[in-house]
Amino acid sequence: MRESGDRRRFDPLVLIRGLPGHPLHPPLTGATIGMYALAGGLAVLGYAGAIKLAAAKGMWLALIGGLIVSVPTALTGLVDWLSIDWGSARWRTATLHLTAMVSAVVLFAFAAWRQYHGYQHGSVTVAGLVLTLCGVAVLTVGGWLGGSLVFVHGTRVLRADEVVDHPVPSGLPRVGERKRAS
């Protein structure tokens, strides 16, 4: 039981960073990358002549959806980036990741702008195709760098000694425990 003087204060950054061991940035990246990957696939299909009308419209809508989801994704990533020790190897990798991802979003924004005519007329434009595929290439590099932040540098990963013991409903095993034989 906690003493009244040992009260924890609410940290508003939790709304942007997430809880320890449960950062918000990674799940948002999944939604963002999914939108842009869909736009890239539809761009290729539509330009190749398959499902032209649907691909042209779906591509533009996926680009717009990706741009919308990019806002909270970038915000959560920026807050994480600001908490890294400046000048460290982790910071350099994070800065390259940030630069690649912002560059990709700019390419996707230009692709959406250039594809709008195709959206209206039911075709994938050459500029929309090229900018989207360039965006996907830069996004892939940025995603690889983001993965190295977690898997090489351990960014936002809890060590075993930092794991908080959360209550578990009776009858359910705790993480790492084996179910007892009856």
Q: What's the whole-number average pLDDT of the chain? A: 85
Is the pTM above the cut of 0.85?
no
pLDDT of residue 5 exceeding 60, the answer is no
Residue ranges covered by each domain of the chain:
22-155
Q: What residues contact residue 20 under an 8 Å CB cut-off, 6+ apart?
A: 158, 162, 164
Tens-digit pLDDT profile for residues 85-133: 999 998 999 999 999 999 999 999 999 999 999 999 999 999 999 999 9
Q: What residues contact residue 1 under an 8 Å CB cut-off, 6+ apart?
A: none
Torsion of CA 138, 140, 141, 147, to 10 degrees: 140
